[in-house]
Amino acid sequence: MFPQKLHALFCVVVAMMLTMVSAAQAEAPVRRTLCVWDLMGANGDTFAIMKDYRIAAAAWGVDLKLKAYSDEKIATEDFRVGQCDAAVITGLRAKPFNTFVGSLESIGSIPSYKHAKMVVSTISSPKAASLMQQGSYEVAGVLPFGSAYFFLNDRSIDEVGKLAGKKIAVFDYDKSQSQLVQRVGAQAVPSDVSNFGQKFNNGVVDIIVAPATAYRPLELYRGLAKNGGIPDFVLAQVFLQVVIRKERFPDGFGQESRQYLSSQFDRVLAMLVRYERDIDPKYWLHIPDADRPRYLAMMREARIDLMKSGMYDKRMMSLLRKVRCQVEPQSAECTENLE
């Protein structure tokens, strides 16, 4: 009897241990690699933010290994070929992975950070989940990277007509930029995030479009020098996107990630505002209020043309118009249905 009781007890103990091991294995987070682009590499603010994201991701069943990149092109390529399971890159670089979210950076479509917060909240909700997925990829959240402005090496370029003949750096992987430059009669100079600042500082180009987050890291004050300026007119909003390979992550990870990153908007915004205040006040050029409607109309015309040609996603353009009209319902565009 006694040996039989021992045997039975032994079986119970073994079964309990196996159950515990199976449960531990089931709960063990999967290990994945997140490649993070940051102008300052591992020393930058974006990389620091993603360290906190890594801690949050553990609760969603993923142990992320962060890998820093100062060259966005390399980070994007490593993600494309599978060396990264996920990547943090700008919207322009992320556009081939999701055209809907990739159209966030369309010209003049998000006039302020107030609009941007509403947009991020909307696309981060469960209702928008299907739009965040395209093929094998999913956009697992976006973060603001700053309002984009013209950086001019000559502050006398204070009118659109004066852009004619000027050399403007455009990212060679975004065809919409070249088309916009051609509309104003300027000369497009193919560039990349890794060299457009240097071209501006060395006088190779007269104008670049950049957020304040690039001012210090790329030493854009060198290109501005004594005669440069930055018109205080927002051309677009720049975003960072977390793009993942869906099959490499647990179900529900993308939605958890989007909601978490959306909750970080105000934290990141405070950082962006500090960057903008860090720019020497002498460089800011005020665009008269009387001129702004005309510039907004020009950007809207360009945006509609680019949407019709397929450069911008129609669904995103419709969403952004709804947000603008929610903030400013008296706007003339709200009575029309062109976007």
Q: How far apart are CA 104 and CA 71, in angstroms?
A: 22
Cα Dmax for the chain: 101
Same-domain status, 93 and 223: no
Specify if 339 maps to a domain. Answer: no
Specify if 336 maps to a domain. Answer: no
Q: How far apart are CA 168 and CA 181, in angstroms?
A: 7
Q: What angle do CA 307, 134, 317 make, to 5 degrees?
A: 25
Same-domain status, 54 and 79: yes
Interval 300-312: pLDDT, tens: 999 999 999 999 9
Same-domain status, 55 and 170: no
Domain containing 91 equals 31-146+238-278
Mean pLDDT on 184-192: 93
Specify if 274 maps to a domain. Answer: yes
Same-domain status, 88 and 154: no
Same-domain status, 111 and 45: yes
pLDDT band at 75 (very low <50, low <70, confident <90, very high): very high
What are the backbone dihedrals phi and psi of residue 161, each rounded to the nearest 5 degrees, phi first? -60, -25
Specify if 86 maps to a domain. Answer: yes
Same-domain status, 166 and 295: yes
3-state secondary structure of 109: coil
Res 27: pLDDT: 62
Res 99: pLDDT: 96
Among 17-31, 87-101, 310-324, name the one with the lowest average pLDDT. 17-31
Specify if 1 maps to a domain. Answer: no
Q: What is the DSSP letter of 288?
A: P
Res 111: pLDDT: 96
**Tally of domains within the chain:** 2
Same-domain status, 99 and 215: no
- What percentage of the chain carries pLDDT values higher than 90? 83
Same-domain status, 300 and 184: yes
Res 6: pLDDT: 47
* pTM for the structure as a whole: 0.89
Same-domain status, 231 and 286: yes
Specify if 320 maps to a domain. Answer: no
Same-domain status, 173 and 304: yes
Amino acid at 25: Q
Q: What CATH number has the domain bearing residue 287?
A: 3.40.190.170
Checking if the pLDDT of 2 tops 50, the result is no
User: CA separation (Å) from 47 to 70, 79, 90, 231?
Assistant: 10, 17, 14, 30
Measured in residues, the chain has a length of: 339
